[in-house]
Amino acid sequence: MTTASGPRKETDGAAPAYPEQHYIGGRWCAPDGAATTLPLVNPADGTRWGGIPTGSAADVDRAVEAAAGALRSWSATSPRERGRLLLRLADGLDARAERMARDITHEMGTPLGESRRLQVPLGIRTFRRTAEILSGMSAREDLGATVVHHTAVGTVGCLTPWNYPLYLVATKVAPALAAGCTVVIKPSELAPGGALHLADVAHRAGLPPGVLNVVLGDGPETGRALAGHPRLDALSFTGSAAVGRRVAAEAGAALTRVTLELGGKSPSVLLPDADLEPAVRATVQKAFQNAGQTCAALTRLLVPRAQLPDAADLASGCARRYLPGPPSDPGTVLGPLASEAQRTRVAAYIRSGTAQGARLITGGPDRVRGLEAGAFVHPTVFTDVPPDAAIATEEIFGPVLSLIPYDTEDEARRIADGLGSGLSAAVWSRDEERAYRLARGLRVGSVSVNGAPTHPDAPFGGFKESGFGRERGRAGIEEFRTTQAVHRTPPRVGDE
């Protein structure tokens, strides 16, 4: 079933009913010409439950033109008015929180409890907090007679992934709207629901036509058309480093400003004096959150060689408590991966671990008994992992943890910082200053010391191949602003 007003209202756990239409210029509209239908598949059982159209270059053109046409009036609104509308969006999303949680669980497999606790609340909070931060930001700076205006960068394209379908849309759209930009979103074809719900909420909240647009489709056709569109002023992409390179090349050809939030292979470094049990437990939790489908997952646990047997026993015991189960069950903590293709990819990495000399102590590549129809993977832990093995150097995006031994703190630092990626890390020591010194020496964008929680307003982004630019908080809004300096003639002495 499709509607002209967005996803349906039921919250009975049945398949969502997303409109097989784009949202362009303030209305739901059919694709241009004969569009290919992309299937939507429930990863828990492999059943097809719907489809979305592949947006053409003409559909992308329509959306970008609508956004560009709305830019002048939207960027001229006051920050107070933009903040008020962001709060209305947050209220609208909050009113359908349960419905969105169930939809996310159905479309990409996050356990329902985690969708309710993490996926949806993070997205809603982003809109509320962005409005609050905007209220404290100045749009001008006086340098003598010169006035520096902080203004919207322009029309923005957003390419978002499937692993956090609402939150990662929110981390781009909320700050872009706050800055006065207009937006075209191309969500993942695996999990388009977050963007579609947001469009429906925005429509009902009275967001002016053209300010927010959603074009459905795949990466090679729709995403590429958006990334290289000559009328975009900025592009924000979250995804793998491999795709990020292609996106940057398309945008670069059009001289479009780009923000890239790419992948990671984040280390958790246990120094010799660390409290072993809480450090291992927290690392396993971060490694397996969202079935390991998190860019900042702590997937490498670096352990002093003498403590490796104890750390391996602890990690194995923790991992066994992450029992795979139906994601619709509120008690499940480890759901399926987002697709069968992703399951196949993760299983291949697990097989490579054994082949390259690592020792498998928990899990493995086989299908989960009783859940064979779904894209489930056993929670998997390797120990004695060579630092150059594929499972220790490449982003797997599944519930796979590698324990890597080291002999000296300098060796630990070299291993932790020795990859091309540099997104996040964790350091553990009873000596807080020692841990802080090591953290400051790592070329990564975010480091947690002794399990300290990540502040949701802190800038987030990577070094090296993990991308450039920052999201979240004030830094997220600044990514979508630029400056104009107006130089005025200073008043003459004696003039009033």
User: Which residues are known to be catalytic?
Assistant: 261, 295
Q: Tokens representing 342?
A: 């992703």
Distance from C-alpha of 137 to C-alpha of 1, rounded to nearest angstrom: 44
Give strand pairing partners of 425: 447
Output the CA torsion sign for 322, 324, 328, 329. Answer: negative
Task: Bin 434: left if φ > 0, else alpha if -120 < ψ < 50, else beta.
Answer: alpha
Cα angle 84, 236, 216 (rounded to 5 degrees) comes to: 85
Residue-wise DSSP of 423-473: SEEEEE-SSHHHHHHHHHTS--SEEEETTPPPPTTS-B--EETTEES-BSH
Question: Three-state DSSP class for 325?
Answer: coil
Of 175, 273, 184, which Cα lies nearest the Cα of 235? Answer: 184
Q: What is the DSSP letter of 63?
A: H
C-alpha torsion 35→221→230→192, nearest 10:
80
